[in-house]
Each structure stands twice: as structure tokens, then as C-alpha cells.
Amino acid sequence: MADDRPLSGVRVLDLTNVLAGPYCSYHLMLLGAEVIKVERPGDGDLARTLGPEPALNRAGVGASFLAQNAGKKSVELDLKDPDDRAVFENLLHDADVLLENFRAGVLGRIGYPWPTLHRLNPRLIYCAISGFGQTGPMRHAPAYDQVIQGLSGMMAITGTPDTAPQRVGFPACDTIGGLTAAMAIAAALAGRARTGTGVHLDVSMLETSLSAMGWAVSNYLVSGVPPEPMGDQNATAAPSGTFHAADGPLNIAANRQEQFETLCRLVGRPGLITDPRFADREARKQHRAELNTALNAALRDRPALDWEQLLSGAGVPAARILTVEQAVELDQVTERGFVTDLPFPDDPARTLRVTGNGVLVDGRPLRPTTPPPTLGEHNNDFKSSEVRSP
């Protein structure tokens, strides 16, 4: 069956390592692109050695690598070697996208600045992901996810006033940067269909993270109000945050007046509706602690799942707080085909489970069809090809 995914026929040369770049190209692959990982001979993507299982890390298929590289191809090239540079330039001629996440200027210093890339392939879309972007006084500084979390203000507003600053519990800045880059590449491909010419995309993880922080940044920029760490509470509304049922925590976000009133009736506290301390959104925010105390006292009468079903069924956003193990096994997630089972690289007796991207196209989930490549698995496919003109 022909591949009818949106990016079918698009070829991506992926020079990236670890997470932000590989996460970007993984989503392009899910959308149908052919992704060719260009890896350093002998070592490859650093993520090949990262993960909780030392044996997999030693074998070059660490969990971090496996999670973001299914469906891709791998070719080993040393971009300082003349023969490998010729292979790389041959691949460039047929590529639609070149993706890298080196420090700013590295690719240019080894002979491939944007003007050269554009001359070799005028239709090429070149996307560079870096911590701070290709310009500015910090452009050459090294940056990992936690560094960007700190510089963006993200850590300063995570936790409570007593515990902040805290790191978000997953590499949020890497994934935000990768997703933004994938969106920009898709937009550039659409633009190229109109103009016939490629573009240079300069993606800053610092800036994409600030953009994704939403009201935490906009409240300051628009109204001069700096955000503060509030733990599990939502600064924009009350009651909105984590509450305590009989058997564990429960998130409730009764952000609208009718949701608040429904909540009060369902938990058996209708008097809260007419209490002047809780009359409207601003009043409830001012008296958040008293309101939360009253609601927690009522919610302790029943288990979290009962409240989730009762409140959600009445239009009040509410749900249990799950572990990762519980979340990926939810019937909702399973029914939509979010997790795909693949053969494990070099171990057919083991199954590899990888995530999708949460998008259905014409009712079908986007899935990888092949496992992550072993290092250099596709060398013969590309190193032996003849040089072609753009």
C-alpha cells in the first residue's frame, strides 16, 4: 500500500544527537518523512549509550535512543573525511530537509554554512536547533535541557515557595524545541511548494521554552505581574489544582462559574456557592486556602475514581493523578493506538514499545513501521549511490 501520510516523499538528513533534534525528526518520520540519521562512525548518537539498562547502553541501543529513533535509517559519515563529505553532498542533492543541533556555527566551520548548503541544493530547508539560536551573545554557550529550564524561568516557578526552583520532571525544553522545529519544517515545506526555494530555520530552545510558558510569561509582559511558584495550584483560577480524595490525589479544574457551582452541589457543599468569599473567580483566588480546605474535607468521603467519574460526567474537569505506568496503559490511550510494538533491534525475542504523537490521520494513528536502526545499518544503501546533480 502506498504511503499516504502527509510528509510521504520528503527526505530528511538528520545530523542530530540525544533529544531535541531526534525528537523533531521522529515526529517528521511519523508524519511520513524518510529520515536518514547521519552518525559519527564508531560512536553514533550519544543517546545510544543512555538509558536505565547498562547492557543496552553498551550495545549502542540505549532506551533514550530507542524511544526517539524508530522508523529511521542510519549511515555513518565523518564530515571531515573527503570521501564521506562527497557522500554527504550527494545525499544533500536529494534531500528536502537538513536538521542539526550542534552549537551555533559548527556546521559552517566544517565547510557547510547556509550559503554553501543553499548553493548545493536551492530547495533545501536547513533547520538548526540550538540552546540559544545562531545569533546573540550567548550563541556559542553549551546548553542542555536543565540549563534552559533554569535560564527560561521555568524552574523558578516550578514547585512551591518553599521548594522552588525545581526542574520539571521530564526534559521539557528539549521536547518543546523539537516540536517547534518540526512545526517550522512542516511550514517551510508548505512554503517551498509555493516558492520553490528552501529557507534557513534558526530554532532557539530558550525562546521556544519562553513561548511555551504561556501566561507565566504573558502576565508579566502584558501586566507587569511576575509569576510565582504555586505548587499544584493554578494561578488563573480557583478551585483549580490538586485535591485529596479518600484514597489519593485528584485534579480538579473548575475554572468557570457554572463548573464551580456544579462541583459544590456534587460534593455536598452547596453553601459554598453563596458564601461571599467565593462569589466569583477573583474572590475565590483571594480565598483559595479556605476554599481548598472546605473542598478537601468533602472529597475525602469517596475514592478518586468515583469523583473523577461523577464530576467529569457533569462537565467539571477532574481526574486522578496517575503514575507513568498507569497512564500508558489507560484504555483511552490503548484504543487510539498510541503505543506501537516493534521488533527489538538484534533481539527478535524481545518487544520494543514506542509512542506515537497523538495525531490520527483519517482515523489512523501515525506509527513507525521499523525498529530503530543499528549504527550504520544502512551504510551500503547510501555510500554506494552515485553522485546526482541537484
**Residues catalogued as catalytic:** 174
C-alpha grid cell, residue 332: 483511552
Q: CA 27, 30, 31: angle at the middle one, nearest 5? A: 90
67 Cβ contact list (under 8 Å, min separation 6): 354, 355
The CA-atom distances, in angstroms, between 337 and each of 243, 332, 367 are 31, 9, 9
For 6, other C-beta atoms within 10 Å of its C-beta total 15
User: How many residues in total does the chain contain?
Assistant: 390
Peptide bond into 239 cis (omega under 30): yes
Q: How far is CA 195 from the centre of its chain?
A: 30
Judged by phi (left if over 0) then psi (alpha if -120 to 50, else beta), residue 224 lies in left
Q: Residue 90: in which H helix or E strand, if any?
A: helix 82-94
Where b means 16+ CB within 10 Å and e means fewer, 279-298 reads eebeebbebbeebbebbbeb
C-alpha span between 317 and 333 (Å, rounded): 18
C-alpha span between 286 and 85 (Å, rounded): 64
6 Cβ contact list (under 8 Å, min separation 6): 31, 32, 186, 361
The CA-atom distances, in angstroms, between 144 and each of 22, 131, 147, 149 are 14, 7, 5, 9
The CA-atom distances, in angstroms, between 314 and each of 77, 89, 234, 244, 249 are 58, 60, 21, 19, 20
Judged by phi (left if over 0) then psi (alpha if -120 to 50, else beta), residue 97 lies in beta
Instruction: Judge contact between 193 and 212, C-beta under 8 A.
Output: no
Where b means 16+ CB within 10 Å and e means fewer, 180-193 reads bbbebbbebbeebe
